Amino acid sequence: MAQSQLRESWHVCHCQLDCSTLGWFSWAFLLYGPFLLMIALANAWFRAFAPDYRGYGLSDSPPEPEKASYADLTKDLFGILDALNIPKHPERVLGIITIGVPYMPPGPTTFSKHLPEGFYISRWQEPGRAEADFGRLDAKTVVRNVYILFSRPEIPIAAENESGGEEFNITDPIVKVPALLIMEGKDYVFKFPGMEDYVNSGKVKEFVPDLDIIYLPEGTHFVQEQAPQELAVNEEDGLRLITWLRFQSLKGSRVVVFIHGFPEIWYSWRHQMISLAKAGYRVIAPDLRGYGLSQPHPLLHEASFDDFVEDTLSILDSLHIQKAFLVGKDFGSWAVYLFSLIHPTRVAGIISLGVPFFLPNPQRYLDLPEGFYIFRWKEPGRAEADFGRFDVKTVVRSIYILFSRSEIPIAHKDQEIMDLVDSSIPLPAWFTDEDLATYAALYETSGLDSPMQVPYKGLHKYNQSTITDPKVEAPVLLIMGGKDYFLKFPGIEDYMESGKMREYVPDLEVKWLPNGTHFMQEQFPDQVNQLIISFLDQLI
């Protein structure tokens, strides 16, 4: 990849800044090696910017170089964020990663007081001395020599004056955001007076309380070029740069958790996951317990909606996510509503596809015929016998065709639910053979027995004692499909038109997709994505 091409990649890739003789290109080696950090971060759904500092490489020089300071670099960083319309979080910095340099409170540089006059920083602080030194050689030789010199484990000291560093007017020298410090065992900086003790004693954490540290024993001052793959993606010690970034990115209210229905799996959210990630959100779309790649309930007959609630809570807790947006569809919507009733402080907002909030009522569907699919599938062994006549791929195919219609699936007395679908009927145009193969492969892993337990056999099984006030306090977006068979369930249309739902969901917004079916997020992904993102953006 040519340098000019690689430079363009920072437009689509997390912010790393260069230092010393390094330019934006130095970060390329985090990905050469053999994989390039800018591209690696982009592939991990981060956006990376690696500008040349003011006066470095392709950037313009300061109008008055002798007056240039770190304050200019700070202003330039803000300029980049503002120019690219990067969302303004309550704090502009979500986390920090430094390679080789621990945080030290601002103040005059003190290392030179304990090192000989020939200490490179002391020399280069003398007006004109570095310029005269470098001026004897061409630029290529200067860069070559600096790389060789700074790759050694010894501090560069020539041979004997002294001056202080830049002072900052900072009243509170505590770093309040999460930080990752990557220290290299053979970096000469580690031999600066007091540096090793400062890091190893933990004193650095007095100024950076939320600090993780990675040690790379063989790393030199240029570790991002020396060992790019180990720095970026090696997971032997459980923490590397991309892992840390992913962990930090899952904190905060830009996390969206998708809860699927039946016969769906995480893959049913494929269009939403990509779209929301591009819009700056962090997406979690698990297979529910017993579905796809997730393990079944150890006591299947005891499985209930409570399990889905607790599993969702465990996901948030394990990733240290305090609050998230929840998106549900089909019975997944009820799991989301139930979660918000039990854990209201963990929910930033709710989006439900096709299912309004209503109180569970086992008597709700008693007016429907015996062949109603939920009645059939609640009978012990009946769904299993029905599905068992076919391979998994055929079952999933039939259910997608059947549930894409606008009529409630109801079988005659001499029929089973799978008999309602003629094998010659094609799949919906928006559901490909590749999609079907993905579903089938995952259901072949999990089987269908566990997915049928919840929601069908345990449809109304949950701990009602945990709900004292059945009111959803979080903002809710309800997206309804005009051709979803669910609208023909007894009382649903009247419930929607009467506005009674607002008694339980005061902060409610309803959007309609007139031609939307039960699988609207796969049928009309662009429209659904836009509705979801617009709703989320209003609440950020």
For 394-443, how does the pLDDT look when each residue is reduced to its tens digit (9 = 90+)? 999 999 999 999 999 999 998 999 999 998 999 999 999 999 999 999 99
C-alpha–C-alpha distance, residues 453 and 383, integer Å: 10
Q: Is 477's pLDDT higher than 90?
A: yes
- Quick one: pLDDT band at residue 27, thresholds 50, 70, 90? very low
- Among 80-94, 132-146, 240-254, the range with the most confident prediction by mean pLDDT is 132-146
- Quick one: pLDDT band at residue 344, thresholds 50, 70, 90? very high
- Quick one: pLDDT band at residue 452, thresholds 50, 70, 90? confident
**Averaged over 20-38, what is the pLDDT?**
41
The separation between CA 388 and the C-alpha centre of its own chain, rounded to angstroms, equals: 38
Q: Is the pTM of this model over 0.75?
A: no
Q: What pLDDT is stored for residue 518 in this prediction?
A: 97
| Sheet-wide strand order for 324-329 | 282-284, 255-259, 324-329, 347-353, 476-481, 508-513
Give me Rg for the CA atoms of the chain. 30
Q: Is 20's pLDDT higher than 50?
A: no
- Quick one: pLDDT band at residue 33, thresholds 50, 70, 90? very low
Provide φ and ψ at 259, rounded to 5°: -115, 115
**Averaged over 339-353, what is the pLDDT?**
95
CA dihedral 488, 490, 494, 495 (to 10 degrees): -110
**Percentage of the chain modeled with pLDDT above 90:** 37
How many other C-beta atoms can be found within 10 angstroms of the C-beta atom of residue 113?
A: 12
- Quick one: pLDDT band at residue 168, thresholds 50, 70, 90? very low
Range with the lowest mean pLDDT among 164-168, 276-280, 369-373, 489-493?
164-168
C-alpha–C-alpha distance, residues 435 and 338, integer Å: 30
Q: What pLDDT is stored for residue 393 in this prediction?
A: 95
Q: What pLDDT is stored for residue 421 in this prediction?
A: 95
| Sheet-wide strand order for 179-184 | 96-99, 179-184, 211-216
When the pLDDT of each residue in the chain is averaged and rounded to a whole number, the result is: 80
Strand ranges inside 39-178, DSSP E: 96-99
Provide φ and ψ at 452, rounded to 5°: -75, -20
Q: Is 167's pLDDT higher than 50?
A: no
C-alpha–C-alpha distance, residues 66 and 127, integer Å: 10
DSSP class of 29: G
Question: What region does 491 belong to: left with phi over 0, alpha with psi -120 to 50, or beta?
Answer: left
Q: Is 113's pLDDT higher than 70?
A: no
C-alpha–C-alpha distance, residues 40 and 61, integer Å: 30
Q: What pLDDT is stored for residue 429 in this prediction?
A: 95
Q: What pLDDT is stored for residue 39 in this prediction?
A: 65
Q: Is 6's pLDDT higher than 50?
A: no
How many other C-beta atoms can be found within 10 angstroms of the C-beta atom of residue 312?
A: 23
**Averaged over 247-261, what is the pLDDT?**
79
Helix extents (H) in 126-262: 129-135, 139-150, 195-200, 204-207, 223-226, 228-232, 241-249
Mind giving me the DSSP string for 467-532?
-SS----S-EEEEEETT-GGGGSTTHHHHHHHTGGGGT-SSEEEEEETT--TTHHHHSHHHHHHHH
Q: Is 11's pLDDT higher than 60?
A: no
- Quick one: pLDDT band at residue 465, thresholds 50, 70, 90? low
C-alpha–C-alpha distance, residues 193 and 125, integer Å: 19
The separation between CA 233 and the C-alpha centre of its own chain, rounded to angstroms, equals: 17
Provide φ and ψ at 48, rounded to 5°: -115, 135
Q: What pLDDT is stored for residue 463 in this prediction?
A: 58
Q: Is 305's pLDDT higher than 70?
A: yes
C-alpha–C-alpha distance, residues 63 and 76, integer Å: 14
**Averaged over 299-303, what is the pLDDT?**
79
C-alpha–C-alpha distance, residues 245 and 178, integer Å: 10
Mind giving me the DSSP string for 349-374?
EEEEES-------TTTTTTS-TTBHH
Q: What pLDDT is stored for residue 311 in this prediction?
A: 92
Sequence-distant (6+) residues with CB within 8 A of 361 are: none
For 436, how many CA atoms within 13 A lie in the half-sphere containing its CB? 19
HEC secondary structure over 198-225: HHHCCCHHHHCCCEEEEEECCCCCCHHH
Long-range contacts of 36-41 (CB under 8 A, 24+ apart): 36/1, 36/6, 36/228, 37/224, 37/228, 37/231, 37/232, 37/241, 38/6, 38/9, 38/10, 38/13, 39/9, 39/13, 40/232, 40/233, 40/242, 41/13, 41/14, 41/242, 41/245
**Percentage of the chain modeled with pLDDT above 70:** 79
Question: What region does 342 belong to: left with phi over 0, alpha with psi -120 to 50, or beta?
Answer: alpha
Q: In the numeric block, which tokens belong to residue 441? A: 């492969």
- Quick one: pLDDT band at residue 516, thresholds 50, 70, 90? very high
